[in-house]
Amino acid sequence: MKRSVIFLMILTLSSQLSVLAATLQNTDSQEYEIQIREEGRPYGRFYGPYGDEFRILEHCKTDICHYGCEMTMISTGQRIWVNPRDEVVISYRVMKVNRAANDRRGGY
């Protein structure tokens, strides 16, 4: 009983972090390299001029950018800004951002 209560508490706390993260989905049949520059971390973990690089596999969906970030697709040079809870979809070598409902502008 005690273990199940602890497990539920951990599950509850960890699910809140995943709710805040943006999701990145690659619908193409090839992988891409994405460069991430997070807010508050100007150069990433290697202290280089570009930030962290991630390889996004084909037909993959993952949580990324828990606090918002700037994403750059290495192959095309496309750059977007992603807020927490946004959805990014890569389709035909183009990143498209679907903003979270509470972050939309214009009253819709």
User: What's the 3-state SS for 55-76?
Assistant: EECCCEEEEECCCCEEEEECCC
Cα of 102 vs its chain's centroid, Å: 17
Closest CA to 72 of 48, 52, 42, 102: 52
Whole-model pTM?
A: 0.66
Tens place of pLDDT per residue across the chain (108 aa):
666 556 555 655 554 444 578 899 999 999 999 988 876 655 555 554 446 788 888 898 988 888 788 999 999 999 999 988 899 999 999 999 998 776 555 443
Using one digit for the tens of pLDDT, what is the confidence trace for 35-51?
Answer: 888 766 555 555 544 46
